Chains A and B, each alone.
Chain A
Amino acid sequence: MSQADQTFAALADPTRRTVFELLVRQSPATATALSGELAISRQAVAKHLAMLAQSGLATAERVGRETRYRADITGLDQLDAWAAEHRSLWTRRLDRLAGVAESGRVVAE
């Protein structure tokens, strides 16, 4: 799986997106601190944070007995490239659809 796919997969989960958004606003943060603001367990938040770190969307730093996470928004650059490619693909698809629809080929619904 490419880095972009990992990032993509990480953000496909709505709860993980919420964790990431919270982390962007509150970095650095621990799983315990974030779970206090979300209706999910510390263990669940810890798993989401680990996945974000694995996907390049966060960095983890061990401080004493706790792990502090920071959002890494440069990880979104992979998605920007993906988005640009797909935007270009869809632009051309819509151009073709417009060509068909505007050609007057449709005669009845």
Chain B
Amino acid sequence: MSDPISRPTPSAKRQILSTPSDVWIELTSPEGFEQWMGEGSTIDVSEGGLLIAVDVESGQPKIGVVTEIDPGRSLRWVWRPLGEPEGPTPPTEVAIELVPLPVDDGHLHTLITVIEQPSMRRVPPLLGSTRPMASLVSLVR
């Protein structure tokens, strides 16, 4: 056992037959995000931007904050189930990375990787908070 901690790290990886810039648009645009995450989901892709995710399968809403953005390349956020301000479920951090994959015909496809793992960062306790974004960012740092 060389690295016991690596065992629980969940991840998913997939090749998408579109360019990273096109995948980024669908990943982060309000319309695209709602389509792949679930109806009612919203994301403000700015540092400290709020994210509400309603999983299309479970219907379980989550609230989160965008923590890092590298347009076209990577996106990170911290989220937790909505309605559990102090737990019991700890927040997790989601890291999404897009890597261009050259294909034979000269076009680019995309390798997208997602890692979700425990986070020590806090997530804003209330949906619809009147706190300015800057103070929301301070809550997760």
By a beta-carbon cutoff of 8 Å, the part of chain A in contact with chain B is 1-2, 5, 8-9, 11-14, 17, 20-21, 24, 71, 73, 76, 79-80, 82-84, 86-87, 89-102, 105-106, 109
Contacts and interface: CB of A to CB of B under 8 A. Distances in A.
Nearest to A11: B118
B88 A100 contact: no
Nearest first, the 7 closest Cβ-Cβ pairs linking A and B are A79-B8, A12-B118, A90-B12, A1-B88, A83-B10, A97-B36, A86-B10
A11 B5 contact: yes
B4 A98 contact: no
Interface residues of chain A: helix, strand, loop or mixed (majority)? helix
Contacts, number: 113
Most buried by B among A80, A84, A101: A101
Contact of A94 (B32, B87, B89, B112): B112
Given A83-B8, A100-B35, 11 more contacts: A5-B89, A11-B118, A14-B120, A73-B4, A82-B8, A84-B10, A89-B55, A96-B35, A96-B56, A97-B36, A100-B32
Contacts of A8: 89-90, 118
B87 A90 contact: no
Contacts of B89: 1, 5, 8
A91 B8 contact: no
Contacts of B16: 94, 97-98, 101-102
Chain B: interface size category: 35 or more
A15 to B, nearest CB: 10
A4 B87 CA distance: 13
B37 A73 contact: no
A101 B23 contact: yes
B74 interface: no
B26 A100 contact: yes
Contacts of A95: 14
B57 A90 contact: no
Given A90-B10, A93-B36, A20 B5 contact: yes
B90 A106 contact: no
A109 B72 CA distance: 11
B18 A94 contact: no
